[in-house]
Structure 1
Amino acid sequence: MIKDGIGGANTNANGLKFENKTDLATSIASFLSDKYILKPHIFKHKDKLVVKSKSLVYDVYRIRDNKLIGIITKQNQFYNILSEHYGVDNVNHKRWKPDEVFFNFENNTVFIVEKKWQSSTGSVDEKIFGFVNKRRLYQNNFNQLSKEPKPTVEFSALFNSDWWLNGGTDHNNEKSYQDYFDNLRIDGIKIFFDKYDYWWFGL
């Protein structure tokens, strides 16, 4: 994306900062440290991983009863957890790489977060309407399971408020995306700005 004749690199850099700042595992470890502890996940069969990935994976334990309640991961590690924990492989032709995933074993729900950092208008304006279809594609993987209840996939969008709500430095689109947000909600997409509502993950 170009801003003032430059931008691709700057946008990528700022987007990466936003992704790191909103890392789900780090956020939970920081803000919910009195309730949960995160431990590095150890794959039982490293030689049988579906996809090679350097993304970190964490087991989430509830402190009061030391119970494993879920797993946090991202990107291609989603497929390794899908295979190891659920015993199924990706059925879609493409491997989508979710920005954040929380597998909540207690409520049998898989929470997926897609992050969108922006500083100007562009193709991402149209891309966000594909979230509901992405949710369906992720759900396809769990629908393979033969026994009920099958996990439900919930999908959320995490936006940077300085652009999506406030219109950037020029404040020229303060309400431009209201229709976008309303339609995402109609499709059952949870919306976050800058930070998470942890209750949505069942935490």
Structure 2
Amino acid sequence: MAKKPNTVGGGAKTNHNGLHFEGRTDLLKALNVHPDFTVMGNQVFRDGTIVAYYFEKHNLYNGFLKPAGVDYKKILSKKLLPDGALLVGNTIYIIEKKYQAGSGSVDEKLQTCDFKRKQYIKLFASLDIKVEYYYVLNDWFNKLEYDDVFEYIQSVGCKYFIEELPFNEIGL
């Protein structure tokens, strides 16, 4: 029996399908083309004033936590690598992007938001920074079969968005 090609993502297709989706949902690019914002490096400006700092993956640790004196190894047993983290005032918005085009493991990953949010809360506690945990999902998830998962996500203090993240949801 011939092997069917993977056309839905996951496995070997994760990067191919995920990068395209992540490119469409790039927060810094969206901010930079918005007339009210300017982006320089990881800094977001509005009217010449820095209003936010953006970090991804390891840069959250190297570019923010470590310089702030936070050693994650003393707080967490494993480093968490967010797709995006936007610091606005004393709130950090952890943004996880999930792409799916068929049944697969992302379904179960959505149910980990409570644990990860609590881990981030521990990580930022010494800096007195509030944590918001958000998913940005592609339109595959816009189905009734995800209603229970979405209800759970909201019940544990997390949020989800389909295809876009409104700026007013991230303090901008």
TM-score with structure 1 setting the length: 0.76
CA contact (8 A) 1:82 1:89 kept: yes
By relative contact order (CA 8 Å, sep 6+), the higher-ranking structure is 2
Selected match of 1:21 from 21, 24, 30 = 24
Check if 1:110 corresponds to 2:92: yes
CA deviation digits over 1:90-116, x for unaligned, max 9?
A: 1212111100110112xx100011111
- How far the C-alpha of 1:11 sits from its partner, in A, is 4.1
The answer to which structure has the higher helix fraction is 2
Between the aligned partners of 2:122 and 2:17, the Cα distance in structure 1 is 33
Selected match of 1:182 from 144, 151, 156 = 151
- How far the C-alpha of 1:191 sits from its partner, in A, is 1.0
| Identity score, percent | 33
CA contact (8 A) 1:113 1:155 kept: yes
Find the structure with the greater CA-based Rg: 1
Where structure 2 has 5 or more consecutive residues not aligned to the other structure, the ranges are: none
TM-score with structure 2 setting the length: 0.88
Corresponding position of 1:92: 76
Corresponding position of 1:36: 37
- How far the C-alpha of 1:177 sits from its partner, in A, is 0.6
CA contact (8 A) 1:11 1:119 kept: no
Corresponding position of 1:171: none
Provide the alpha-carbon RMSD of the alignment.
Answer: 1.5
Corresponding position of 1:169: none
SS at match of 2:136: strand
SS at match of 2:161: strand
Paired amino acid for 1:176: E
Q: Map of 1:1-203 to 2, 5 A cutoff?
A: 5-7=4-6, 8-30=11-33, 32=34, 34-40=35-41, 58-63=42-47, 66-80=48-62, 81-84=64-67, 86-90=68-72, 91-105=75-89, 108-145=90-127, 150-161=128-139, 163-165=140-142, 174-203=143-172
Q: How many residues align?
A: 163
